[in-house]
Amino acid sequence: MRAWPLPAKTERPSDVGSPRSGSPRSGSPRSLLVASDRGATLVEVVISIVLISVFTVALGLVVTTGTAASADNRARVSASGLAERELDMATALLGASPDAAQSLRGEEVNPNLPAEMTYSYTHPGGTDPDPDFPFKVDGEAYRVLRTVEPRTNAAGGSCLSVGSVVGDLGDLVTVTVTWASMSAGTASHVIAEYVPRHRDASTASDPDRAIVAVEVAGQPLDGVTARAGVSVRVAGNGAPPVAQTTDHRGCAAFEVMPAAVGSDYEITLLGGHGAAYVDLLGQSQPVKQISEVVAGGAFLVKFTDYDKAAQLTVTVLNVNPSIHHVFLEPMFAGGGDTIQQPVKGSAAAFTNLYPGSYVVRAGLAEPVAVALAPGENRTDLKVVIP
């Protein structure tokens, strides 16, 4: 008989996906179910953690920065109030009397410190104040520093012209407030105000006092001869010496109390901040006298040639044993005698020179002209010995 072929084996629906049937067919409902059951991979978990961490840190920085800025703003508002209060009180004291005003000038005062307090602060809790930041507002500790310096506020003219020093003599009150939690780079709160003294334009504010005005000028520098920032000291009639600095017009003004018959005063220039000054003769601290200063008057003392000292180094080429000195001859009026300096090695150094024109001479070398500006340090000048 003829054998008929057996039919091919087929899988039953119940066998689909069973171990016997192998892997499920792609795209079938069962294959989708198996893929979803696997869950997130380790890489996906790590990436998720990193993203959440970055977001959390960024949010924390925003919150922290905002909180710090808010605290700093609150502290600055309180500092402004403390500064305004101190300025008002200093202004009232300056206007109380000439003696009260005089006691404030030229002194650096921290009103918080017990030995220097001009009024009392209440410290919360009754505890001893921090010596550096003794005053507290809303839990923040503050330090208030006040300075009062004599100043003039005139726009131009001589230091004793009508409406200048005499009419505008006053005090610059500066109040600086800092606080304990100030972050690095935060600026202190500073306010400054000019407080004029009321007086007639030709007399002092008190009939027993007089005004001594000092005017300081030097060589033209950018068209300006007035020298600001020069320290001036006035002494006389047995009173302690008083010092202040010249203003933008080179002026400094002092109230003095002369004797009934008049008094003599000595005015000394002490130089500038961090810079050497000299007059025409090379003096660093020139002195002038003013006689017969009487109460109710105004007196002017002028220093017309006082400036930042210049320096000059002269290099001598082909130096020989016969050349021992280099000579510097001033070519301006009042410059004094020729200056000489020894040659050390191959150079001669000149210091504390009044700025102006000079001629350099050394042996038979050709004279060399040189002009020195205020405060200049020139080192490139050479002279050749034939």
- pLDDT means per 10 residues, the chain with 386 residues, are 52 49 50 51 80 78 58 79 82 69 58 39 43 68 77 54 48 81 78 63 56 88 86 91 86 85 93 88 92 83 92 88 89 88 92 94 91 93 88
Residues 275, 34: Cα–Cα separation, whole Å? 87
**Token pair for residue 166?**
């005499």
| Contact predicate 280/334, CB 8 Å | yes
Which residues lie closer than 8 Å to 193 by C-beta, 6 or more apart? 87, 91, 172, 173
Specify whether the CB–CB gap between 230 and 250 falls below 8 A: yes
Q: What is the pLDDT of residue 17?
A: 47
C-alpha closest to that of 232 among 187, 202, 277: 277
DSSP-assigned letter for residue 182: P
Count CB atoms within 10 A of the CB of residue 302: 16
The structure tokens listed for 78 are 């309180």
Residues 307 and 218: beta-carbon distance below 8 Å: yes
Is pTM beyond 0.95? Reply is no
CA-to-CA distance for 232 and 149, rounded, in angstroms?
13
Find tokens 């025409």 and name the residue: 280
Question: What residue spans define the domains of the chain?
Answer: 71-196, 210-307, 309-384
How far is residue 155's CA from residue 150's CA, in Å, rounded to a whole number? 16
How many contiguous H segments (helices) and E segments (strands) does the chain have?
A: 4, 22
H helix runs in the chain, sequence order: 29-37, 42-96, 98-104, 165-168
Judged on CB neighbours under 10 Å (0-12, 13-18, 19+), 227 is: buried
Buried b (16+ CB within 10 A) or exposed e, 242-281: bebbbbebbbbbbbbbbeeeebebebbbebbeeeebbbbe
Burial of 305 (0-12, 13-18, 19+ CB in 10 A): buried
Contacts of 364 (CB under 8 A, 6+ apart): 385, 386
Q: Report how far residue 88's alpha carbon sits from residue 93's, in angstroms, rounded to the nearest whole number.
A: 9
3-state secondary structure of 116: helix
Contact 201, 163 (CB under 8 A): yes
Q: What is the CATH number of domain 309-384?
A: 2.60.40.1120
Q: Which CATH class is domain 210-307?
A: mainly beta
Beta bridge partners of 179: 142
Matching CATH topology for 210-307 and 309-384?
yes
Per-residue pLDDT, 313: 96
* pLDDT value, residue 62: 61
Q: What angle do CA 240, 241, 243 make, to 5 degrees?
A: 140
Residue linked to tokens 């792609």: 26
CA angle (210, 211, 216) in 5-degree steps: 155
Q: How far is CA 93 from CA 57, 101, 153, 171, in A?
A: 53, 6, 20, 12
